Structure 1
Amino acid sequence: MRRAFLSTLLALALPTLPLGALAETVEAGGAKFDTTAEVAGQKLVLNGLGVRYKAIFKVYTVGFYFKQKADTPDGLIKQDGPKRVLLKMLRDVDGKDLGKAFTDGMQKNALPEERAKTINGIFKFGQIFNDMKKAPSGAAIGIDWIPGTGAQVFVDYKPVGEVIPEPEFFNALLRIWLGEKPADDDLKNQLLGKEKRGR
């Protein structure tokens, strides 16, 4: 009798929950991403999402969060306010190998006029992955841009390493996927919301 009474109370209470209480998610490569995120007290929206492949293997799913959606690289890179790059690993990857892939991508795509101001950040960023040893399958790795503070790397939503203050570093980071020589052309379009997400 008591159990039935409690079940009735629960059934009556559930419809009164606000719609936003349950976060909406989308999926790519088997990894789920919330369609919104909060960084520096501001709500961001998922601009695009896709899977990074190496040959035929899925390496990670990556999503971009910004205040406003945009479908061009400049529309995202030059946008003011907080930003988030979030990766969810789909396989175990050596930390040094992952760090090298990221730093190579930044160096390849950094604008000539910004390159000198990216050196400090690229070095610190690479060191974080060297120290990590391994990026295991299932890990969430992200970089938040916080205006007035800088870029904060986090692993499984816990901050790691020093804050990187140069905005040029975060611009170079975004250009790994959005630059003239992106990691993957299809992934670039997915992150810009122009193509269907990878399976």
Structure 2
Amino acid sequence: MQDGRIVLTPFEQQRRQMMAAAMAAALVPLATPAEAATVELEGVPLEETITAYGQKLVLNGAAVRKRGYFKADVTALYLPEKRTTPDAVFKLNGIRRIQLNILREFTSSTISRIFISDFKQNSTDAEFKQLINEISQVGAAYSAVKRVSKGDVVNLDWVPGKGWMCYINGKQLMLDTSAMPGAASNNAINSELAYQIYLRMYIGPAAPEELRNGLLGLTRLPKSSGGGKEAKDADV
């Protein structure tokens, strides 16, 4: 002690500096890249990066899909790499995911009817006849779902080597593929053409412009105020 002051050794000074730095760091809110990489649409948070089937996917874009005057769902398109044209999305190799974040209740009969109507609208007569078995299987699977409600999440995925699969709230939709030529044994429809036509419903020429532009990333999405953790679903 000198003149009433405490004189610290160099070691004690260094230790105090380290303790002060640690305390300051503890008071700073964590801001991880995962928290910053979240957007929000109609109150639905969407992760900009997810992991599906062991592969990293990025949010290509999102938009609100409407049925008449009603907002049906927040649709999100996840791809291995971002693409800004329908043709580029169709030609992209790897996993592709259409995610539907349901905004209102739909009965099974309504879901099935909408799917078949939209599929027919976005396919040629020859394609529709070629895929009649696949269309019937999907329609029957949707009919088996009693209803979807606000907050439900539907993932419709194309996985190379497996096929087209559907998950509702993380549970795989069961398909009767026993009588379907070329069907996989994992409740998947092994027809990339069928999935390509399904994509046309959202980004094809007959799709609403606002929906198509949103999914192609041509519309800027607002950042989420709540943040979040990176979504991981190794099995899905």
- TM-score above 0.5: yes
1:153 partnered with 2:178: no
Cα distance, 1:115 vs structure 2: 3.6
Deviation at 1:137, TM superposition (A): 0.9
Q: 2:215 matched to which residue of 1?
A: 191
Equivalences, count: 188
Whole-angstrom CA distance in 2 between matches of 1:105 and 1:174? 11
Structure 2 unaligned segments of length 5 or more: list them. Answer: 1-21, 175-186, 223-236
2:65 alignment counterpart: 52
CA distance in 2 between counterparts of 1:37 and 1:67 reads 10
CA displacement at 1:99 relative to structure 2: 2.3
> What is the CA distance between 1:103 and its match in structure 2?
2.0
Which segment drifts farther, 122-131 or 62-71? 122-131
Q: What is the alpha-carbon distance in structure 2 between the residues aligned to residue 75 and residue 38 of structure 1? A: 21
> 1:114 & 1:153 partners in 2: Cα distance?
21
The alpha-carbon distance between structure 1 residues 112 and 180, as it changes in their structure 2 partners (threshold 3 A), is farther
Corresponding residue SS for 1:37: strand
Q: Structure 2-normalised TM-score?
A: 0.71
Which residue of the partner structure matches residue 34 of structure 1?
A: 47
TM-score by length of 1: 0.83
Which one has a larger percent strand, Structure 1 or Structure 2? 1
CA contact (8 A) 1:51 1:197 kept: no
Structure 2 counterpart of 1:170, from 176, 181, 195: 195
Distance 1:197 1:96 in 2: 32
- Percent identity over the alignment? 30
Q: 1:118–1:172: 8 Å Cα contact kept in structure 2? A: no
Cα-to-partner distance string for 1:105-131 (whole Å, 9 max, x where unaligned) = 111112456444432222221112111
Alignment of 1:5-24 (within 5 A): 12=26, 19-20=32-33, 22=35, 24=37
Tell me the CA shift for residue 100 of structure 1. Answer: 1.6
Within 1, Cα distance between the matches of 2:74 and 2:196? 20
Instruction: Check 1:51–1:19 CA distance in 2 against 1; reply closer, same or farther (3 A cut).
Output: same
Measure, in 2, the Cα distance between the counterparts of 1:196 and 1:111.
33
What is aligned with 2:141? Answer: 128
User: Is the 1:39–1:146 contact (alpha carbons within 8 Å) kept by the matching residues of 2?
Assistant: no
Query: CA separation in 2, counterparts of 1:68 and 1:113?
Result: 31
1:64 & 1:75 partners in 2: Cα distance? 13
Greater Rg by CA? 2
Structure 1 unaligned residues grouped into runs of 5+: 1-7
1:88 & 1:22 partners in 2: Cα distance? 20
Question: How much is the aligned-residue C-alpha RMSD, in angstroms?
Answer: 2.5
Q: Secondary structure at the match of 2:144?
A: helix
